[in-house]
Amino acid sequence: MKRGIGLGACHWCGFRDKCAKGLLVDRNGNVKGEWTEAYPLNQPHSGYSEPNPEDWVEKTIVALRKLLEVSHVSPDSVAGLSFSGQMHGLVLLDKERNVLRNAILWNDTRTTEECREIEEKVGKETLLSITKNRALEGFTLPKLLWVKKHEPHLYQRAYTFLLPKDYVRFRLTGHIAMEYSDAAGTLLLDVENKTWSQLICDILGIDVQLCPPLVESTAYVGTLLPEIAEEMGLPANVKVFWPAVPTMLCGAVGAGILSEGRMMCSIGTSGVVLAYEQTGKKDFAGKVHYFNHAKPDAYYIMGVTLAAGYSFDWWKRTFMEDVPFADIVQRAYESPIGANGLLFAPYLVGERTPYADADIRASFIGI
Protein backbone atom coordinates (compact mmCIF):
# COMPACT_ATOMS: atom_id res chain seq x y z
CA MET A 1 0.00 0.00 0.00
CA LYS A 2 1.30 3.43 -0.85
CA ARG A 3 2.09 5.36 2.28
CA GLY A 4 -0.37 8.19 2.77
CA ILE A 5 -1.40 8.26 6.43
CA GLY A 6 0.05 10.57 9.07
CA LEU A 7 0.05 10.03 12.82
CA GLY A 8 -0.06 12.92 15.25
CA ALA A 9 0.16 13.09 19.02
CA CYS A 10 -1.12 16.02 21.07
CA HIS A 11 -0.62 16.77 24.77
CA TRP A 12 -2.56 19.30 26.76
CA CYS A 13 -4.46 20.00 29.95
CA GLY A 14 -7.87 19.86 28.39
CA PHE A 15 -10.80 21.37 30.26
CA ARG A 16 -12.20 17.88 30.77
CA ASP A 17 -9.08 15.73 30.96
CA LYS A 18 -5.32 15.88 31.15
CA CYS A 19 -4.58 13.68 28.20
CA ALA A 20 -2.50 12.44 25.31
CA LYS A 21 -4.50 12.24 22.11
CA GLY A 22 -3.51 10.44 18.95
CA LEU A 23 -4.92 11.34 15.53
CA LEU A 24 -4.69 9.44 12.26
CA VAL A 25 -5.00 11.75 9.24
CA ASP A 26 -4.78 11.07 5.50
CA ARG A 27 -3.06 13.26 2.90
CA ASN A 28 -6.27 15.24 2.35
CA GLY A 29 -6.59 16.16 6.02
CA ASN A 30 -9.39 13.71 6.76
CA VAL A 31 -9.33 12.28 10.29
CA LYS A 32 -9.35 8.48 10.04
CA GLY A 33 -9.24 7.75 13.74
CA GLU A 34 -8.43 9.07 17.20
CA TRP A 35 -7.63 7.75 20.65
CA THR A 36 -7.24 9.52 24.00
CA GLU A 37 -5.34 8.44 27.11
CA ALA A 38 -5.71 10.44 30.35
CA TYR A 39 -2.88 11.03 32.81
CA PRO A 40 -2.84 12.56 36.32
CA LEU A 41 -1.88 16.15 37.16
CA ASN A 42 -0.09 16.87 40.44
CA GLN A 43 -1.14 20.04 42.26
CA PRO A 44 0.78 19.94 45.57
CA HIS A 45 0.01 23.59 46.41
CA SER A 46 -2.44 26.25 45.30
CA GLY A 47 -1.37 27.61 41.91
CA TYR A 48 0.93 24.65 41.17
CA SER A 49 0.53 22.43 38.10
CA GLU A 50 3.07 19.60 37.83
CA PRO A 51 2.58 16.47 35.70
CA ASN A 52 5.19 13.73 35.49
CA PRO A 53 6.75 13.90 31.98
CA GLU A 54 7.08 10.11 31.92
CA ASP A 55 3.28 9.91 31.94
CA TRP A 56 3.27 11.83 28.66
CA VAL A 57 5.63 9.32 27.08
CA GLU A 58 3.77 6.27 28.36
CA LYS A 59 0.36 7.58 27.33
CA THR A 60 1.61 8.70 23.91
CA ILE A 61 2.87 5.22 23.13
CA VAL A 62 -0.37 3.64 24.35
CA ALA A 63 -2.55 6.17 22.48
CA LEU A 64 -0.77 5.66 19.16
CA ARG A 65 -0.72 1.88 19.50
CA LYS A 66 -4.44 1.80 20.35
CA LEU A 67 -5.13 4.21 17.50
CA LEU A 68 -3.64 1.80 15.00
CA GLU A 69 -5.61 -1.08 16.48
CA VAL A 70 -9.04 0.60 16.39
CA SER A 71 -8.57 2.25 13.00
CA HIS A 72 -7.59 -1.02 11.29
CA VAL A 73 -4.89 0.78 9.31
CA SER A 74 -1.82 -1.12 8.23
CA PRO A 75 1.26 0.20 10.09
CA ASP A 76 3.12 0.07 6.78
CA SER A 77 0.78 2.74 5.39
CA VAL A 78 1.88 5.30 7.99
CA ALA A 79 4.02 7.93 6.26
CA GLY A 80 4.96 10.18 9.15
CA LEU A 81 4.58 11.13 12.80
CA SER A 82 4.53 14.52 14.50
CA PHE A 83 3.66 16.09 17.84
CA SER A 84 1.92 19.14 19.20
CA GLY A 85 0.73 20.33 22.59
CA GLN A 86 0.73 23.00 25.26
CA MET A 87 3.32 25.79 25.35
CA HIS A 88 5.69 27.05 28.05
CA GLY A 89 5.96 23.95 30.29
CA LEU A 90 9.43 23.44 31.81
CA VAL A 91 11.09 20.01 31.67
CA LEU A 92 14.61 19.96 33.15
CA LEU A 93 17.09 17.24 32.17
CA ASP A 94 20.47 16.29 33.67
CA LYS A 95 23.60 15.22 31.74
CA GLU A 96 22.27 11.67 31.44
CA ARG A 97 19.10 13.15 29.90
CA ASN A 98 17.03 12.09 32.91
CA VAL A 99 14.17 14.27 34.18
CA LEU A 100 15.18 16.19 37.32
CA ARG A 101 11.68 17.04 38.59
CA ASN A 102 8.05 17.11 37.55
CA ALA A 103 7.24 19.52 34.74
CA ILE A 104 5.93 23.00 35.59
CA LEU A 105 3.06 23.86 33.23
CA TRP A 106 1.75 27.00 31.52
CA ASN A 107 -1.11 27.38 34.02
CA ASP A 108 1.21 27.26 37.06
CA THR A 109 1.14 30.70 38.73
CA ARG A 110 3.88 30.48 41.38
CA THR A 111 6.36 32.75 39.57
CA THR A 112 5.06 36.29 40.15
CA GLU A 113 8.26 37.31 41.98
CA GLU A 114 10.41 35.92 39.18
CA CYS A 115 8.43 37.93 36.62
CA ARG A 116 9.11 41.11 38.58
CA GLU A 117 12.79 40.19 38.79
CA ILE A 118 13.00 39.71 35.01
CA GLU A 119 11.40 43.06 34.21
CA GLU A 120 13.46 44.91 36.84
CA LYS A 121 16.83 43.43 35.83
CA VAL A 122 16.39 43.18 32.08
CA GLY A 123 14.14 46.22 31.77
CA LYS A 124 10.66 46.17 30.24
CA GLU A 125 11.68 47.95 27.06
CA THR A 126 14.72 45.73 26.50
CA LEU A 127 12.64 42.62 27.15
CA LEU A 128 9.98 43.71 24.66
CA SER A 129 12.55 44.64 22.03
CA ILE A 130 14.14 41.17 22.20
CA THR A 131 11.34 38.74 23.07
CA LYS A 132 8.31 40.86 21.96
CA ASN A 133 6.52 39.79 25.15
CA ARG A 134 6.12 40.76 28.79
CA ALA A 135 7.27 38.54 31.63
CA LEU A 136 4.21 36.46 32.55
CA GLU A 137 3.87 33.63 35.04
CA GLY A 138 2.98 31.12 32.34
CA PHE A 139 6.21 31.56 30.37
CA THR A 140 9.22 29.26 30.74
CA LEU A 141 11.95 31.66 31.88
CA PRO A 142 10.22 32.56 35.19
CA LYS A 143 9.88 28.84 35.93
CA LEU A 144 13.59 28.31 35.27
CA LEU A 145 14.44 31.14 37.67
CA TRP A 146 12.06 29.69 40.27
CA VAL A 147 13.91 26.36 40.18
CA LYS A 148 17.25 28.19 40.34
CA LYS A 149 16.10 30.07 43.46
CA HIS A 150 14.08 27.44 45.31
CA GLU A 151 15.67 24.16 44.16
CA PRO A 152 19.35 25.06 43.57
CA HIS A 153 20.43 21.45 44.10
CA LEU A 154 18.39 20.50 41.02
CA TYR A 155 19.26 23.57 38.98
CA GLN A 156 22.99 22.88 39.43
CA ARG A 157 22.49 19.46 37.85
CA ALA A 158 20.50 20.80 34.88
CA TYR A 159 22.05 20.13 31.48
CA THR A 160 19.23 21.41 29.26
CA PHE A 161 15.52 22.18 29.31
CA LEU A 162 12.75 21.15 26.95
CA LEU A 163 9.08 21.94 26.44
CA PRO A 164 6.38 19.25 26.74
CA LYS A 165 6.16 18.00 23.16
CA ASP A 166 9.94 18.29 22.74
CA TYR A 167 10.51 15.94 25.66
CA VAL A 168 8.10 13.37 24.25
CA ARG A 169 9.82 13.56 20.88
CA PHE A 170 13.23 13.20 22.52
CA ARG A 171 12.15 10.05 24.35
CA LEU A 172 10.73 8.56 21.17
CA THR A 173 13.54 9.53 18.78
CA GLY A 174 16.61 10.40 20.87
CA HIS A 175 16.82 13.91 19.32
CA ILE A 176 16.96 17.04 21.50
CA ALA A 177 15.90 20.36 19.96
CA MET A 178 13.17 23.01 20.02
CA GLU A 179 11.40 24.72 17.13
CA TYR A 180 11.02 28.49 16.87
CA SER A 181 7.28 28.89 17.40
CA ASP A 182 7.49 27.16 20.79
CA ALA A 183 10.85 28.69 21.74
CA ALA A 184 9.24 32.13 21.33
CA GLY A 185 7.11 31.33 24.38
CA THR A 186 10.09 30.73 26.67
CA LEU A 187 10.94 34.45 27.00
CA LEU A 188 14.54 33.58 26.11
CA LEU A 189 14.32 33.79 22.32
CA ASP A 190 15.34 36.81 20.27
CA VAL A 191 12.19 36.53 18.18
CA GLU A 192 13.28 38.57 15.16
CA ASN A 193 16.79 37.11 14.93
CA LYS A 194 15.66 33.55 15.79
CA THR A 195 18.42 32.88 18.30
CA TRP A 196 18.67 32.51 22.08
CA SER A 197 19.29 35.85 23.77
CA GLN A 198 22.79 35.89 25.23
CA LEU A 199 22.01 39.28 26.82
CA ILE A 200 18.99 38.04 28.78
CA CYS A 201 20.87 34.93 29.89
CA ASP A 202 23.87 36.98 31.05
CA ILE A 203 21.75 39.48 32.99
CA LEU A 204 19.84 36.72 34.82
CA GLY A 205 22.83 34.44 35.41
CA ILE A 206 21.65 31.63 33.14
CA ASP A 207 24.10 29.60 31.09
CA VAL A 208 22.90 29.95 27.49
CA GLN A 209 24.12 26.37 26.93
CA LEU A 210 21.04 25.24 28.88
CA CYS A 211 18.98 26.26 25.86
CA PRO A 212 18.54 23.43 23.32
CA PRO A 213 19.35 23.62 19.58
CA LEU A 214 16.76 25.46 17.45
CA VAL A 215 15.07 24.19 14.28
CA GLU A 216 12.34 25.27 11.86
CA SER A 217 8.78 24.18 12.61
CA THR A 218 8.67 21.89 9.56
CA ALA A 219 12.08 20.26 10.10
CA TYR A 220 12.60 16.53 9.66
CA VAL A 221 13.74 14.86 12.90
CA GLY A 222 14.60 11.32 11.86
CA THR A 223 12.99 8.03 12.79
CA LEU A 224 11.69 6.37 15.94
CA LEU A 225 14.04 4.49 18.23
CA PRO A 226 13.77 0.78 17.32
CA GLU A 227 12.39 -0.25 20.72
CA ILE A 228 9.78 2.53 20.61
CA ALA A 229 8.69 1.62 17.09
CA GLU A 230 8.25 -1.99 18.17
CA GLU A 231 6.23 -0.97 21.23
CA MET A 232 3.96 1.23 19.10
CA GLY A 233 3.59 -1.38 16.39
CA LEU A 234 5.10 0.90 13.73
CA PRO A 235 7.89 0.32 11.20
CA ALA A 236 11.22 1.65 12.49
CA ASN A 237 11.65 3.83 9.39
CA VAL A 238 8.53 5.96 9.91
CA LYS A 239 9.58 9.60 9.51
CA VAL A 240 9.20 12.00 12.45
CA PHE A 241 8.83 15.76 11.98
CA TRP A 242 9.01 18.83 14.18
CA PRO A 243 5.63 20.56 14.15
CA ALA A 244 4.56 24.03 15.14
CA VAL A 245 3.35 24.46 18.66
CA PRO A 246 1.09 25.36 20.39
CA THR A 247 -1.84 23.29 19.26
CA MET A 248 -3.72 26.45 18.29
CA LEU A 249 -0.91 27.39 15.89
CA CYS A 250 -1.18 23.97 14.26
CA GLY A 251 -4.89 24.67 14.02
CA ALA A 252 -4.16 28.10 12.57
CA VAL A 253 -2.03 26.57 9.83
CA GLY A 254 -4.82 24.11 9.08
CA ALA A 255 -7.34 26.96 9.04
CA GLY A 256 -5.26 28.91 6.53
CA ILE A 257 -4.00 31.68 8.83
CA LEU A 258 -1.02 32.16 6.53
CA SER A 259 -1.39 35.71 5.22
CA GLU A 260 -2.19 39.25 6.37
CA GLY A 261 -5.77 39.83 7.40
CA ARG A 262 -6.39 36.23 8.49
CA MET A 263 -7.56 35.57 12.06
CA MET A 264 -9.10 32.75 14.09
CA CYS A 265 -10.64 32.07 17.50
CA SER A 266 -9.91 28.85 19.39
CA ILE A 267 -11.64 27.72 22.59
CA GLY A 268 -10.21 25.00 24.82
CA THR A 269 -9.00 25.19 28.41
CA SER A 270 -8.04 28.76 27.51
CA GLY A 271 -9.55 31.00 24.86
CA VAL A 272 -7.38 32.40 22.07
CA VAL A 273 -7.74 34.96 19.30
CA LEU A 274 -4.84 34.59 16.84
CA ALA A 275 -3.86 36.70 13.83
CA TYR A 276 -1.13 36.45 11.20
CA GLU A 277 1.66 39.07 11.09
CA GLN A 278 4.17 39.27 8.24
CA THR A 279 6.74 41.29 10.19
CA GLY A 280 8.33 41.06 13.62
CA LYS A 281 8.89 44.81 13.83
CA LYS A 282 5.50 45.98 15.11
CA ASP A 283 5.13 47.33 18.64
CA PHE A 284 2.14 46.01 20.58
CA ALA A 285 3.62 47.18 23.92
CA GLY A 286 3.28 43.68 25.35
CA LYS A 287 -0.53 43.81 25.28
CA VAL A 288 -0.67 40.64 23.17
CA HIS A 289 1.67 37.69 22.63
CA TYR A 290 3.95 38.13 19.61
CA PHE A 291 5.54 34.86 18.44
CA ASN A 292 7.24 33.20 15.48
CA HIS A 293 4.82 31.51 13.08
CA ALA A 294 5.20 27.98 11.75
CA LYS A 295 5.59 29.60 8.33
CA PRO A 296 9.28 30.57 8.02
CA ASP A 297 10.05 34.26 8.60
CA ALA A 298 6.48 35.06 9.59
CA TYR A 299 4.84 35.83 12.94
CA TYR A 300 1.52 35.81 14.75
CA ILE A 301 -0.10 37.74 17.57
CA MET A 302 -2.33 36.13 20.13
CA GLY A 303 -4.68 37.32 22.85
CA VAL A 304 -5.43 34.83 25.63
CA THR A 305 -8.04 34.42 28.33
CA LEU A 306 -6.87 31.67 30.67
CA ALA A 307 -10.15 30.12 31.80
CA ALA A 308 -12.49 29.68 28.84
CA GLY A 309 -13.47 26.01 28.74
CA TYR A 310 -11.95 25.70 32.19
CA SER A 311 -14.71 27.95 33.57
CA PHE A 312 -17.31 25.69 32.00
CA ASP A 313 -15.66 22.66 33.60
CA TRP A 314 -15.42 24.41 36.98
CA TRP A 315 -19.13 25.25 36.88
CA LYS A 316 -20.05 21.67 36.08
CA ARG A 317 -17.81 20.19 38.78
CA THR A 318 -18.99 22.69 41.39
CA PHE A 319 -22.73 22.99 40.73
CA MET A 320 -23.91 20.43 38.17
CA GLU A 321 -21.59 17.44 38.47
CA ASP A 322 -24.19 14.87 37.42
CA VAL A 323 -25.65 16.90 34.55
CA PRO A 324 -24.34 16.13 31.02
CA PHE A 325 -22.44 18.92 29.27
CA ALA A 326 -25.01 18.97 26.48
CA ASP A 327 -27.81 19.72 28.94
CA ILE A 328 -25.83 22.57 30.52
CA VAL A 329 -25.24 24.09 27.10
CA GLN A 330 -28.94 23.81 26.28
CA ARG A 331 -29.93 25.58 29.51
CA ALA A 332 -27.48 28.39 28.74
CA TYR A 333 -28.93 28.64 25.23
CA GLU A 334 -32.43 29.02 26.67
CA SER A 335 -31.37 31.85 29.01
CA PRO A 336 -32.35 35.31 27.68
CA ILE A 337 -29.65 37.52 26.19
CA GLY A 338 -27.99 39.31 29.08
CA ALA A 339 -28.72 36.45 31.52
CA ASN A 340 -31.09 38.69 33.50
CA GLY A 341 -28.18 40.95 34.46
CA LEU A 342 -25.93 38.19 35.81
CA LEU A 343 -22.25 38.65 34.89
CA PHE A 344 -19.37 36.20 35.42
CA ALA A 345 -15.78 37.45 35.49
CA PRO A 346 -13.89 34.26 34.46
CA TYR A 347 -10.62 34.84 36.31
CA LEU A 348 -10.33 31.43 37.96
CA VAL A 349 -6.57 31.18 37.32
CA GLY A 350 -5.64 34.84 36.84
CA GLU A 351 -5.67 36.52 33.45
CA ARG A 352 -3.41 37.48 30.55
CA THR A 353 -4.84 39.67 27.79
CA PRO A 354 -4.86 42.62 27.87
CA TYR A 355 -4.39 43.17 31.62
CA ALA A 356 -2.00 40.47 32.78
CA ASP A 357 -2.66 39.69 36.45
CA ALA A 358 -1.98 36.32 38.08
CA ASP A 359 -3.77 37.38 41.28
CA ILE A 360 -7.07 38.62 39.83
CA ARG A 361 -9.97 36.43 40.94
CA ALA A 362 -13.26 35.28 39.43
CA SER A 363 -16.63 36.58 40.59
CA PHE A 364 -20.34 36.62 39.88
CA ILE A 365 -21.93 40.07 39.68
CA GLY A 366 -25.66 40.69 39.79
CA ILE A 367 -26.79 37.67 41.82
pLDDT tens for the chain, residues 1 to 367: 345 556 555 544 443 347 888 888 888 888 888 888 988 888 888 889 999 999 999 999 999 999 989 888 888 888 889 888 888 999 999 999 999 999 999 889 899 999 999 999 999 999 999 999 999 999 999 999 999 999 999 999 999 999 999 999 999 999 999 999 999 999 999 999 999 999 999 999 999 999 999 999 888 989 999 999 999 999 989 899 876 566 778 888 888 999 999 999 988 888 999 999 999 988 898 899 999 999 989 999 999 998 999 999 999 999 999 999 999 999 999 999 999 999 999 999 888 888 888 889 999 999 9
pLDDT value at residue 141: 99
Burial of 339 (0-12, 13-18, 19+ CB in 10 A): exposed
pLDDT value at residue 248: 76
What is the Cα–Cα distance from 1 to 126, expressed in whole angstroms? Answer: 55
Predicted structure pTM score: 0.87
pLDDT value at residue 196: 99
What is the Cα–Cα distance from 37 to 20, expressed in whole angstroms? Answer: 5
Query: CB neighbours (10 Å) of residue 220?
Result: 12
Query: CB neighbours (10 Å) of residue 330?
Result: 10
Residues paired with 272 in a beta bridge? 266, 304
What is the Cα–Cα distance from 116 to 119, expressed in whole angstroms? Answer: 5
Rounded (10°) CA dihedral 102, 267, 263, 132: -30
CB-based contacts of 273: which residues, under 8 Å, 6+ apart? Answer: 263, 264, 265, 302, 303
pLDDT value at residue 4: 55
pLDDT value at residue 346: 94
pLDDT value at residue 244: 59
* DSSP 8-state assignment for residue 199: H
Domain 5-249 sits in CATH at: 3.30.420.40
Q: What is the DSSP code string of 95-153?
A: TTS-B-S--B-TT----HHHHHHHHHHH-HHHHHHHHSS---TTSHHHHHHHHHHH-HH
Please state the domain extents for the chain: 5-249, 308-365
